[in-house]
Structure 1
Amino acid sequence: MILQDFYTILQSAIGKMVQLSHTLSEKEWNEIFGLAKKQALVGIMFEGIERLPQEQWPPRNVVLQWTMMVGKRPKTDLVI
């Protein structure tokens, strides 16, 4: 299931309008982050996250982890 979620976010990054099929847990987001690092796709995947509906974004601490890795601010303010 994690790979399917990974590919869904990757599709979002390339401009396809998608939504995740379910709400991901913090653990699942961290697994996706690990896959993105392993594949050198952290920045691209972050773009995909930014294009998801905000209610499907990862928890704030996960967003901050991704943001620090890519060295930029999210395009929208995440309110939790």
Structure 2
Amino acid sequence: MISRFTPESFAGTCVYCSHCMPCPAGIDIALVNKYYDLALLGDSLARKYYLSLEKNASDCIGCTHCDKRCPFHVDQSARMKEIRAYFDEKQ
């Protein structure tokens, strides 16, 4: 049986769909999340790519625009704080 990909089945999980865009601060939220998830999985290049982004989680202004637009109900504004702390800690 083929399982269906629905917002309900992935509630709270960023799937890099970019529905959260545009970000008022210019952050590519999907890529920031992707590099964070890859870093957590041990990808040694993820940090390099994250830091090469023009804007990253450190640039988040906490406006919650992304939270309101996410069909998967990801608390992206909180996740940006988590991501910023992770990459700041790894410096």
TM > 0.5 fold call: no
| Shorter-chain TM band | 0.3 to 0.5
Determine which structure has more spread, i.e. the larger CA radius of gyration. 2
TM-score w.r.t. the length of structure 2 is: 0.33
Bigger helix fraction: 1
